[in-house]
Structure 1
């Protein structure tokens, strides 16, 4: 699979750069700039047989994307938006912690899931710091907390970088079994289940808690032992995919509807969440319209018609990476990168001959437009579009953020067999066994990511790690049911529509 690697958090990140701005020019790859002999394809009369993947055309036309309008603009909505934010801000204070710690943590959890916590980052961080010092830093205070308070506090504090150790040991008895009260507390079990996905390596109690709570919650759903329909819906949602593995914007899209059914729903939170979703959707539509103008100008959808024409799907990945309004440059750059990579992937996997691909790989390695003279016309178009777009992104990053990222941008190529097929071939396992094994690898990978999150303190690196993690989440969402990127199914299209085109009401 082809991939562009730009391992530098400067392509659209708003955080200031704190490192040295000097660069060792000698480290740059000299082949990028040195004169190289031209690559000449030998003439041949043998007709070239081209393959076709028969990808369906894009659902979204250029004219449709350019026609998008958002009604949630103007002074009226802006005033309401700010008024609601200030109302919610008054609900976040250190005084509320003293009155009801669990209610404060549940408020923070709701703000996150509704997709509006980014408005209150400083307030939430300040209160969580006080909560950690007063309640969680001293382990003896855990003995006075109920299961929900322990598990929810553990999850939220770990999410925000607090390295709380495995302090859930008292949920097991002397024989190593989970205590009876754990099974009896449905909300506590759900919180414990979600908390278990914040585990790092060698935290066996959390692994056991995940297996235990998952089994118990599934049994409760199967025998319809949960009277509260809202709780039943939350449990089904969690068992399908834990919060830690979900994309924030997608979760907000779902949770706004689920929140309406909660008995303890707060009208001001719901009103802000819906209005914020619609306003941000309008910002995303402007990002998408800008990206579609770039896409139309590139002409790849017409000149390279054999490839996947997936601009909106590429933009979905960008929204998944970071949906916050201030990261528009990041979204546009991620959209371009993913669109480019997938088309180039089809050049290799579908259309190009072996000789052509060897020539094309060398042209990309040199990063020299003169070297492209000898490749077929469709490859000239592909390389020039790729070359110009990446150079423009690097130029804008240099002028806006004083960071030269071009030496870190490269195209790596190689056929990557599907992991499930490899495992089946190597071990003789069935497909179900192979899928279970790959899922276990995913869990272990998330433990490594969780550990990195706890070790990173720089705000810019934290944001970079979060965006990188979100790309992984998007990968799992997109490919869990097959190649949904190449041939979007009805579920994926419904997500596109709800995320980008339909406002909340």
Structure 2
């Protein structure tokens, strides 16, 4: 039991946009008796399957084991004098998903490392150490200069070609380059230099590191979902002597204990989804509860963030339904009414909508208002104005309407026109605003003002979501030919898309 761990969705690959034509009847009197539609493959994670999930990693026995191992790791953190070893320990803890258990100890260690930055001879001529030091400190909010890498530059602005023989150092530099800020040209050059040589030398790299190189080239560490990263890293380092066995044992136990919490949360969401009945009433739309929940784990992976996961699962599930209404089911006239309902946020307007829109809007209306009630009761703050105002539900509906009109009229926007609208239709701002209020925190006036004024945070986060979504789905949508992201697919190629994605991450 001590050496096992599980991930219930591990071997299941999500398949989206696999469709077939069919005709669906809607409730009598609500629309024409039939309309052309597409049918998505049914979910493989139905309520019965989710309810069958079991875990042996709950209760006092597991908590006691974890506490004992935590104490041993705390001793390691306090008694590790070497700066490089300390940084490696911190990095391992965070990649194994254990960082949140040792926040104070990690903070104290980094204060000592940063305060001694003048005595940095241990990093001199060591590319691996320099890059690890830079990345870990910057990820924790410290001001670290790109000038730390000047010593590794040959003929400016190019890095020394001899560095390519140091695969471990090159990989460390590649990961460090992905926490670059806008205008840091040394790190931009480092990214291109390391990518080129890591790709070229993959066949000659020892097996113990080639797995990490391949994964980093596909998805850099800074871009990864924490929960999936910890699962992957446990497998990657098991059997190697690079990670302390106590850390590995604690990581497996903690992974499974958190997994038990996630399974409990998912069961709650499955019951909610079954009770509101939209999967049955709106049979044309995607039933993707488990996928929505998994996405929520990517945003809020800590065990104490159950409410945030549950709220985001609800929001993202509604986003998928609304997306299908706009993309494939409704007429433009119906969508005008639907978008107007979002703008007004008034259930008294329901009689103007067809039945399938009525039931969708009312379920969403009640769900969001229930969230607002909880926040008002706990914090004395009315979050409905922030949910309805600029960059949230109102603009999400309006941007979806724009895309629907493009598609139904055959209009092809320019790439810039598409992106100017696409960051709003990505639903990124909808998700972020709800996450802000769902997370357990004190909501201050300053925080609310920052939420209103910090448009760049919402914009760039939403743009990343837009680009990732189009990179993953545009080929299928191009084949189907009924959504505007297929237009984006024709405007650019995947290499250009990935480059734009990288540039967006730098802001």
The residue that corresponds to 2:39 in the other structure is 54
The residue that corresponds to 1:229 in the other structure is 207
Query: Secondary structure at 1:177's aligned position in 2?
Result: coil
Offset of residue 229 of structure 1:
1.1
The residue that corresponds to 1:431 in the other structure is none
Residues 67, 345 of structure 1: CA spacing in aligned structure 2 closer, same or farther, 3 A cutoff?
A: same
Give the Cα–Cα distance (whole angstroms) in 2 for the partners of residues 403 and 240 of structure 1: 42
1:88 aligns with 2:73: yes
Residues 57, 472 of structure 1: CA spacing in aligned structure 2 closer, same or farther, 3 A cutoff?
A: farther
Q: Deviations over 1:413-452 (max 9, x none)?
A: 224769xx99x9858xxxxxxxxxxxxxxxxxxxxxxxxx
Offset of residue 181 of structure 1:
4.3
1:203 aligns with 2:181: no
The residue that corresponds to 1:438 in the other structure is none
1:177 aligns with 2:174: no
Offset of residue 340 of structure 1:
0.9
Please say if residues 246 and 473 of structure 1, whose CA atoms lie closer than 8 Å, have aligned partners that are also in contact: no
Bigger mean CA offset, 152-161 vs 252-261: 252-261
1:190 aligns with 2:171: yes
Q: Deviations over 1:88-121 (max 9, x none)?
A: 111112x42x3x2111111111111111111011
Offset of residue 480 of structure 1:
3.8
Query: Secondary structure at 1:68's aligned position in 2?
Result: coil
Bigger mean CA offset, 470-479 vs 170-179: 470-479
The residue that corresponds to 2:367 in the other structure is 389
The residue that corresponds to 2:272 in the other structure is 294
Q: Deviations over 1:36-64 (max 9, x none)?
A: xxxxxxx9999465231221111111122
The residue that corresponds to 2:386 in the other structure is 408
Offset of residue 142 of structure 1:
8.1
Give the Cα–Cα distance (whole angstroms) in 1 for the partners of residues 463 and 264 of structure 2: 25
TM-score, length-scaled by structure 1: 0.73
Query: Secondary structure at 2:53's aligned position in 1?
Result: coil
Residues 351, 288 of structure 1: CA spacing in aligned structure 2 closer, same or farther, 3 A cutoff?
A: same
Bigger mean CA offset, 177-186 vs 283-292: 177-186
Give the Cα–Cα distance (whole angstroms) in 2 for the partners of residues 210 and 83 of structure 1: 41
Residues 472, 125 of structure 1: CA spacing in aligned structure 2 closer, same or farther, 3 A cutoff?
A: farther
The residue that corresponds to 1:481 in the other structure is 472
Give the Cα–Cα distance (whole angstroms) in 2 for the partners of residues 171 and 321 of structure 1: 36
Give the Cα–Cα distance (whole angstroms) in 1 for the partners of residues 229 and 30 of structure 2: 56
1:157 aligns with 2:142: no
Residues 66, 175 of structure 1: CA spacing in aligned structure 2 closer, same or farther, 3 A cutoff?
A: closer
Please say if residues 115 and 252 of structure 1, whose CA atoms lie closer than 8 Å, have aligned partners that are also in contact: yes
Q: 5 Å matches for 1:4-403?
A: 47=32, 50-93=35-78, 95-96=79-80, 98=81, 100-135=82-117, 138=118, 144=124, 146-167=126-147, 168-174=149-155, 176-221=157-202, 224-226=203-205, 228-403=206-381
Q: Deviations over 1:378-424 (max 9, x none)?
A: 22211110110000011111112332111111322224769xx99x9
Give the Cα–Cα distance (whole angstroms) in 2 for the partners of residues 392 and 484 of structure 1: 38
Query: Secondary structure at 1:58's aligned position in 2?
Result: coil
Give the Cα–Cα distance (whole angstroms) in 2 for the partners of residues 284 and 130 of structure 1: 35
Please say if residues 391 and 406 of structure 1, whose CA atoms lie closer than 8 Å, have aligned partners that are also in contact: yes
* Structure 2, unaligned runs of 5 or more: 1-27, 416-440, 478-507
Higher relative contact order (CA 8 A, sep 6+): 1
RMSD of equivalent CA atoms = 3.3
Give the Cα–Cα distance (whole angstroms) in 1 for the partners of residues 90 and 382 of structure 2: 38
Aligned residues: 401
Query: Secondary structure at 2:129's aligned position in 1?
Result: helix
Offset of residue 485 of structure 1:
11
Give the Cα–Cα distance (whole angstroms) in 2 for the partners of residues 151 and 127 of structure 1: 18
Bigger mean CA offset, 375-384 vs 355-364: 355-364
Please say if residues 292 and 313 of structure 2, whose CA atoms lie closer than 8 Å, have aligned partners that are also in contact: yes
Give the Cα–Cα distance (whole angstroms) in 1 for the partners of residues 204 and 343 of structure 2: 61
Please say if residues 148 and 189 of structure 1, whose CA atoms lie closer than 8 Å, have aligned partners that are also in contact: yes
Give the Cα–Cα distance (whole angstroms) in 1 for the partners of residues 377 and 103 of structure 2: 29
Residues 357, 143 of structure 1: CA spacing in aligned structure 2 closer, same or farther, 3 A cutoff?
A: closer
Residues 471, 274 of structure 1: CA spacing in aligned structure 2 closer, same or farther, 3 A cutoff?
A: farther
